[in-house]
Amino acid sequence: MARVGIVGGTGYTGVELLRLLASHPQAEVVAITSRAESGRRVDDLFPNLRGLYNLCFTEPNVKELAACDVVFFATPHNVAMNLVPELLQAGARVVDLSADYRIRDAQLWSEWYGEPHASPDLLAQAVYGLPELNRAQIAQASLVACPGCYPTAVQLGLLPLLQTNLIDRKGIIANAASGASGAGRQAKIDTLLAETAGSFKAYGVAGHRHLPEIEQSLGDIAGSPVEVTFVPHLLPMVRGIHATLYGRLTGDAGDLQALFENTYADEPFVDVLPAGHCPQTRTVKGANRCQLAVAQPQGRDTVVVMSVIDNLVKGASGQAIQNMNIMLGMPEDAGLQQVGLLP
């Protein structure tokens, strides 16, 4: 039984880790921290967990956390990068759900996050935790940087096209939309129900923090720099990300459906829909799954990929557990067999 610690357990990725780990056969949460809620029972804050955990939030304590087999950071950025060095030194493995170790270039990180990086030495050591891309390195890693929610959906959608050089590396369009849980469990006017229900808008058009992450990883896949126009939108719903991706074919497309199916044939959590189908966010709600479809409208030279995930599962906490499973040599799908909640 792996001993699991969670830093920052009062947000949506925290409660989602607890929901998923409740049915994990080989892992047990032994510590969950929160300065603000220290002393409060976890199931008092999150009554869906009643009967499953006999845990209270505690003040973060490095000694206790270091005694865990794996520590998840379910915090905003700027927390992990201060605590991780000590934890690694103490021998713990870390899966960071925040943005602190996603970008390899410390200066680029600083430009987008507005402050110096606190542990830039670890950036080279951190493995980018997209199992479909880096499974072997994850298995050896002590520090995994979980991809952002948008980047997960975008990368899984574009990977088959970029690996095969089928599309132009410039002029890629990533038009994506997220449910409001992506904005976190924080008191903000902008994500009140009364501000967002029954409405839809783009945001962050001038530059969203997931853009450098997307371009870094797609560049790795393509083998040379890519340029993406990334426009996120806010959906009037709780969970789910839908990315609609557009690329310009540089030559004959060949059989796109077969390309996608073959690329992901052995992937347990990526599912290519039959030709002609469009994925819906609800079919992956609560599940650690990405569903994909590819189309070439009117046979023209623009290829369209649709990619859906649950932002809190394959886009965050589920993928974090998938990474843990790989790191600890457990079955990759342990604790991750939830079925999408339809309707």
Ranges within 5-44 binding a copy of itself (CB under 8 A): 12, 15, 19, 22-23, 44
The CB-of-35 to a copy of itself minimum distance in angstroms stands at: 16
Q: Which residue number, 110 or 244, has a Cβ lying nearer to a copy of itself?
A: 244
**Shortest distance, position 230 Cβ to a copy of itself, whole Å:** 8
**Binding positions for a copy of itself, 100-129, rule CB under 8 A:** none
Nearer to a copy of itself, 82 or 201 (CB): 201
Query: Which of 23-27's residues contact partners 24+ apart within 8 Å by CB, and which partners?
Result: 23/335, 23/337, 23/338, 24/321, 24/334, 24/335, 25/334, 25/335, 26/1, 26/2, 26/328, 26/330, 26/334, 26/335, 27/1, 27/2, 27/3, 27/70, 27/321, 27/324, 27/330, 27/334, 27/335
- Which amino acid makes up residue 238? V
59, 105, 115, 227: which one binds a copy of itself (CB under 8 A): 227
Structure-token pair, residue 245 = 């991706």
Query: Is 149 in the active site?
Result: yes
DSSP label at 167?
Answer: B
- The phi, psi pair for 129, rounded to 5°, reads -85, 55
Closest CA to 254 of 153, 133, 165: 165
Q: How far is the CB of 91 from a copy of itself (least distance, A)?
A: 31
**Cβ closest to a copy of itself, residue 22 vs residue 56:** 22
Among 198, 224, 251, 266, binds a copy of itself (CB under 8 A): 198
- Give, as ranges, the residues between 139 and 168 that touch a copy of itself (CB under 8 A): none
Strand 201-202 and strand 270-272: the pairing is: unpaired
Residue 318 within binding range of a copy of itself, rule CB under 8 A: no
Nearer Cβ to a copy of itself (258/341): 341
- Catalytic: which of 68, 146, 149, 290? 149
List binders of a copy of itself among 54-83 (CB under 8 A).
none
Beta partners for 304? 246, 295
What span, in angstroms and rounded, lies between the C-alpha atoms of 23 and 338? 9
Q: Which stretch binds a copy of itself (CB under 8 A): 32-40, 60-68, 115-123, 293-301?
A: 293-301
- Binding status of residue 194 toward a copy of itself by CB under 8 A: yes
Nearer to a copy of itself, 104 or 233 (CB): 233
Residue whose C-alpha is closest to residue 73's, from 269, 327, 326, 324: 324
The single residue listed with the structure tokens 């950025």 is 77
Contacting a copy of itself within 229-258 (CB under 8 A): 229-231, 233, 235-240, 242, 244, 246, 248
Contact at 8 Å (CB) between 20 and 338? Answer: yes
Q: Is 337 in the site for a copy of itself (CB under 8 A)?
A: yes
Task: Enumerate residues 6+ apart whose C-beta is below 8 A from 285.
Answer: 239, 240, 310, 340, 341, 342
Q: Please state the closest distance from residue 95 (CB atom) to a copy of itself, in A.
A: 21
Closer residue to a copy of itself (CB): 22 or 62: 22
Question: Shortest gap between Cβ of 81 and a copy of itself (angstroms)?
Answer: 26
Q: CB 122 → a copy of itself: shortest distance, Å? A: 28
Q: Which helix (H) or strand (E) holds 284?
A: none
Sequence-ordered list of residues with C-beta below 8 angstroms from that of 270, at least 6 positions apart, any chain: 132, 156, 264, 289, 290, 292
Q: Which of 197, 258, 262, 331 binds a copy of itself (CB under 8 A)?
A: 197
Q: What are phi and psi of 237, to 5 degrees?
A: -160, 170
Q: Which of 281, 288, 323, 325 binds a copy of itself (CB under 8 A)?
A: 281
All residues at 6 or more sequence positions from 109 whose CB lies less than 8 Å from its CB, including other chains: 103, 117, 123, 212
Nearest distance, CB of residue 153 and a copy of itself, angstroms? 12
List the interface residues with a copy of itself, window 298-317 (CB under 8 A): 298, 300-302, 304, 306, 308, 312
Q: Which residues are catalytic?
A: 149
